[in-house]
Structure 1
Amino acid sequence: MSIIGGILLGAAHSIDYFASQETLSGKGIVFLAHIVLVFAFFGIHAAQADKNRVLGTLGLILGVIGSMIVTAIIFVEMASVTGVQTKQVLTASLNGPIQSYGPLLFVLGMILVSLSILRNKVLSYWGAALLLVGTVIFALGTIAGSGELLITMIGSIFKGIGFIVLGYQIGLTATHQQDNSASLN
Structure 2
Amino acid sequence: MRYPPADLADVDDDIRAQILEVADKSGFVPNVFLALARRPAEFRAFFAYYDALMEKESGNLTKADREMIVVATSAINRCLYCVVAHGAMLRIFQKDPYIADVVATNYRQADISARQRAMLDFAVKVCEEPWAVDESDHAELAEHGFDDEDAWDIAAITGFFGLSNRMAHISGMIPNPEFHLLGRVPHEKK
Q: TM-score, normalised by structure 1?
A: 0.26
- TM-score computed with the length of structure 2 as normaliser: 0.26
Identify the structure with the greater helix proportion.
Answer: 1
